[in-house]
Amino acid sequence: MTEFVSSEGSLPHIPDDLTIPQFFLDAGHPAKQMHKEGAPWLIEDGTGKAIGLKEIRIKTDALANALSSRYGVGEGTVVCIFAPNHIDTPILIWAVHRLGGIITAANPMYTTEELSHQVQTTSSHLMIAHSALLKTALAAAAEAGIPHGRVIILDVPSHQGHATVADLEKEGAKHKSKFKERHLKPGEAKTKTAFFSFSSGTTGKAKAVMVPHYAVIANAIQVAAVYRAYDPNIPSGDKVFGPGDVTTGVLPLFHIYGLVLNLHFMLFSGITVVIMPKFNFAEMLTSIVRFRMTHLVLVPPMLLLLCKHPIVKKYDLSHVRAIMSGAAPLAPELIEQLAAAFPQAFIGQGYGLTETSTALCILPRGQKVGRSGAAGRLVPGTVARVVKPDGSLAKAGETGELVVSGPQVTLGYYKDDKATRETFLEIDGKRWVRTGDEVLIKHDGDLFVVDRIKELIKVRGFQVAPAELEGHLLGHPDVADVCVVGVPDEYSGEVPLAFVVLEPKTAEKIKGNPSAAHSIKAAIQKYVADAKANYKQLAGGVEFIDQIPKNPSGKLLRKDLRAKAREARKITKFQPKL
């Protein structure tokens, strides 16, 4: 039997009886790096406000007091955070976890319909929203049956008609009796859900992945074990991560990459995280210089700007020591451009899934720049199989679907047994995940993603499920049938394109009438834009087709249409706006 294991060293002990805040804020660990004396844990980008561990603990306990006493947050209570990145978001997360609750963080770009789906799927009982998103939050809360008084405002000190996080901190700090903290039995961290993080899995509408405390803790330790910042035998100059470093915190905290690697792993490594509410390229460059950031944890569209935008020349970025990319493939050409622009920096990408609590593979410590096209090597504790279409196991250098097992594997999809059975497997007493990606692993351990078996489109690192858009489009009066595929785009990676079979009357109306055809296409694109987050919009356009190709059982032959779309459309080259 061919199984692939990590070549990146041994895996330190992973505690299985601690919650996330108990591990990251309270406990010691051989792989943990302490922040330098006086160095903050978190910095608020706009104001420069900085907070260290002592203040974080005080604020976390105060919020836990208030959330428990006023709202009854406790064992299994689901709290939805609907906001861009904010310095109080991690503190809210840890406060809810201290009480035994579960966090589900929603994309601030969501429409009412999308947010309502997440809130109802997770049975959320409380919502914490940014003031700019209050209208959408209240509408979704009403649909989900959450009372008006259980919507809390995150970002302002006071707000008429709603409690704010600042109010709750003050209230909780005055409590004479402390909240009852949730303590776990040995092994319980493996089964106790910490987050409902949303993923489309291999197909279909977004589903709630049950991420246990243990998986997040394990993944931080796994990545730390690769870079071994804690090893006194490694010269300090050869260490990629360590105390005194400062990193970008621009990746959204509702996304597993931002949540686990950009936040928790960096804090575990003694690194200060600068929390940025949203991505603005010029503002990010200013902040990188202002805070002397050493580490950039980004996604390919941001790195494309870093290589191509002329404004970059105005900034001295010579203090940048490491650039990490994830959530979508990093083109080989872009790696070369980054290496030329940042010759002093460690440059690489990782690969993982929401279903594996982020990292499966990362760039090994011994490589300064990742091998062209490689997604890295398996992190310690991960076992991989590459399964051919006939079910046999591939050897090194052969392609097949990647199936993985390890301590970072999550628990499945909440209230969706069918999807869980399709993606999560029990083999030889181990829990495995089908990734839906076709890969090959070379003899030296480098993993290459060859193709995507799963029916997902990756737009700027965000998942777009074709089935979700197809289901919506079938509600348009002019659409008889539809198939959505991803087409290449240099900036976004991919963008959705809809192949549409028109209703007979509409098809007849546009015959020989290009103007009418253009109007119908525009109307179909607007129909999606009005109901879906902007990254789900049909930026690839609409193409009319006589018939959607399907197999005898009626399954869409999506791969055929994807090939057809890519043949007809060359990759859209990105031109930065000056």
pLDDT at position 569, please? 64
What is Dmax (Cα atoms) for the chain? Answer: 78
Report if residue 363 sits inside a domain: no
Q: Which domain holds residue 549?
A: 457-568
Does the predicted model carry a pTM greater than 0.95? no
Report if residue 446 sits inside a domain: no
pLDDT at position 548, please? 86
pLDDT at position 242, please? 86
pLDDT at position 160, please? 75
147 vs 141: CA distance, rounded Å: 7
Report if residue 508 sits inside a domain: yes
- State the Cα torsion 23-25-29-30 to the nearest 10°: 140
What letter represents residue 197's amino acid?
S
Report if residue 447 sits inside a domain: no
**Cα-to-chain-centroid distance, residue 75:** 25
How confident is the prediction along the chain (578 residues), in pLDDT tens digits per residue? 589 999 888 899 999 999 999 999 999 999 999 999 999 999 999 999 999 999 999 999 999 999 999 999 999 999 999 999 999 999 999 999 999 999 999 999 999 999 999 999 999 999 999 999 999 999 999 999 999 999 999 988 777 789 999 999 999 999 877 899 999 999 999 999 999 999 876 556 789 999 999 999 999 999 999 998 888 888 877 788 889 999 999 999 999 999 999 999 999 999 999 999 999 999 999 999 999 999 999 988 889 889 888 999 999 999 999 999 987 778 788 888 899 999 999 998 899 999 999 999 999 888 888 787 889 999 999 999 999 989 999 999 999 999 999 999 999 999 999 999 999 999 888 999 999 889 999 999 999 988 777 777 888 878 888 878 888 898 899 998 889 998 888 888 889 999 999 988 999 888 889 999 999 999 999 999 998 999 999 999 999 998 888 766 566 778 788 888 877 665 555 556 54
Residue that is last in its domain, among 169, 196, 223: 196
Please state the domain count of the chain: 2
Residue that is last in its domain, among 196, 226, 242: 196
SS (H, E, C) 23-69: HHHHCCCCCCCCCCCCCCCEEECCCCCEECHHHHHHHHHHHHHHHHH
Residue that is last in its domain, among 196, 216, 246: 196
Q: What is the CATH number of the domain that holds 500?
A: 3.30.300.30
Q: Kindly report the CA angle at 299 between 294 and 303, in degrees rounded to 5?
A: 70
Report if residue 574 sits inside a domain: no
Q: What is the CATH number of the domain that holds 70?
A: 3.40.50.980
Report if residue 213 sits inside a domain: no
Report if residue 484 sits inside a domain: yes
Report if residue 347 sits inside a domain: no
DSSP class per residue in 249-289: E-S-TTSHIIIIIIIIIHHHTT-EEEE-SS--HHHHHHHHH
pLDDT at position 578, please? 45
In the block, residue with structure tokens 């791969």: 559
| Among the listed residues 497, 477, 500, 479, the one whose alpha carbon sits nearest the alpha carbon of residue 488 | 497
